[in-house]
Amino acid sequence: MKDYANIVKTIVAPLLEDASSLDVKVMDTVNDNEIKILVIAHEDQIPRLIGKQGRNANAIRQLVRAIASEEHKRVLVDFESF
């Protein structure tokens, strides 16, 4: 199984002004074929991750889905602030 937390962190970190506030967690799900990834950043940084009309967030989700499709996994990426 691939390290999805590291993959997401590699994709997301360059979008932030302060990458030290970034935390990526893989959450447990009921389904074995499903992976939930929680991207946590400072509240000032979240708009940079989501982008206008959610374009950045959708692009991040598509990239991770494409990577996960090799293993026949479904990946959910959520963004939260602290």
Which is more confident, 1 or 47?
47
CB atoms within 10 A of CB 30: 5
Q: What is the pLDDT of residues 35-78, one digit of tens each?
A: 999 999 999 999 999 999 999 999 999 999 999 999 999 999 99
Starting at the edge strand found earlier in the chain, the sheet holding 74-81 runs 23-27, 34-41, 74-81
> Sign of torsion, CA 27 44 50 12?
negative
Domain that holds residue 70: 4-81
pLDDT bracket for residue 16 (50, 70, 90): very high
Domain containing residue 60: CATH number: 3.30.300.20
Give the pLDDT score at 28: 87
Give the number of domains in the chain: 1
Side chain identity at residue 45, one-letter code = Q
pLDDT score, position 1: 78
